Chains A and B, each alone.
Chain A
């Protein structure tokens, strides 16, 4: 009886430890946000993240080569059609920040921008 109780406690402890480990692993995984760059708009063009939260933007561009640039956080990526570009960063300040396409992509390029909101 005592050995059964000890075994149950051990299993329970292992499960708790496993759950904690799983949570820690989950916490280390950046939140993934898919962003599509189309002529001449980002979808979505408003991205909300938490200060200190590591996020990965998974960027795709189905038409032509685009760029994703967030100057305030000094991060950018080329977005090549047929591939998914990943842009991982951790915003260290709150506020509203612009992002833009920084590869001249056509007639409407100059209006192709969006807003990153960090709370």
Chain B
């Protein structure tokens, strides 16, 4: 029996993966126009290569390879894979930063799917305006089209003050001006574009300006990282989906005074870590998100 991706996802949900079927107002809706076909991509985030903290992850060099193994083992390979930032853990030493970026790139090269896109996080780029990151991965702001969906990667980390900046906002406005108002648009960022928890630095200083530019477009969905946990929210009709990280989980927004990493649970190793499959279903005008663990229990 031939099984499409949706049926596959439903079976996956029964088998253990958690599926988030978008049901929030205006959430994850795709434009009905256009001739795109269904596809899916994988989001990995916050791998923090170079992190050292045995209390929160005693397997810092093994977690990412395990996640890559899990992606490689997917029954159907995604159309592409996106890393939404903090590929490496921060260091003030430029040589060490490049060493970590190089090692990360080597590990990520083990993905058997060659269609991989990268974004920086503030740990990668805030201390040198992403100069080292660009040497390895290229531009930090870009757009691409895939099967009728317009993807926009925004950089809200290279400025240490967490600003997109006027130049990038102008670029965003010019890029969007070429799109019809009902175009399916996916925005990719590292930090949330909205004020999720400014007291934990979970915000973008001028994120509201970007959202204002995006608001006239009726089918916009944002995927981001930074907060090391699955999280879903909306601003107006725009849905925002945060992904789990691949080094250590962080507490729920405002759930405690400080955002200290959640300690490793030996009884449940890799708990709170994982990656995400995003199924773009053009015909039914929605995305299905499936949260996947690093390693099967």
Contacts and interface: CB of A to CB of B under 8 A. Distances in A.
Nearest to A70: B199
Contact of B199 (A100, A105, A107): A100
B162 interface: yes
A95 interface: no
B257 A102 contact: no
Contacts of B161: 67, 78, 102-104
Contacts of B257: 98
B245 to A, nearest CB: 13
Contacts of A47: none
A71 B160 CA distance: 18
Interface in A54-109: 65, 67, 69, 71-72, 78, 97-98, 100, 102-107, 109
Interface in B117-153: 122, 126-127
A104 B91 contact: no
Given A67-B161, A98-B257, A113-B258, A104 B122 contact: yes
B38 interface: no
- Of the four ranges (under 10, 10 to 19, 20 to 34, 35 or more), the interface on chain B belongs to 10 to 19
Contact of A103 (B91, B92, B160, B259): B160
A107 B122 CA distance: 11
B91 A72 contact: no
B201 A100 contact: yes
B90 interface: yes
Contacts of B91: 107
Interface string B161-199: 110000000000000000000000000000000010011
B160 A69 contact: no
A106 B122 CA distance: 10
B92 A102 contact: no
A102 B127 contact: no
Contacts of A69: 198
B92 A106 contact: yes
Interface of A: 65, 67, 69, 71-72, 78, 97-98, 100, 102-107, 109-110, 113
Interface of B: 90-92, 122, 126-127, 160-162, 195, 198-201, 205, 257-259
The 4 closest A-B pairs by CB, nearest first: A104-B126, A71-B198, A104-B160, A98-B199
Given A67-B161, A100-B201, A104-B160, 5 more contacts: A65-B160, A102-B162, A104-B127, A105-B160, A107-B91
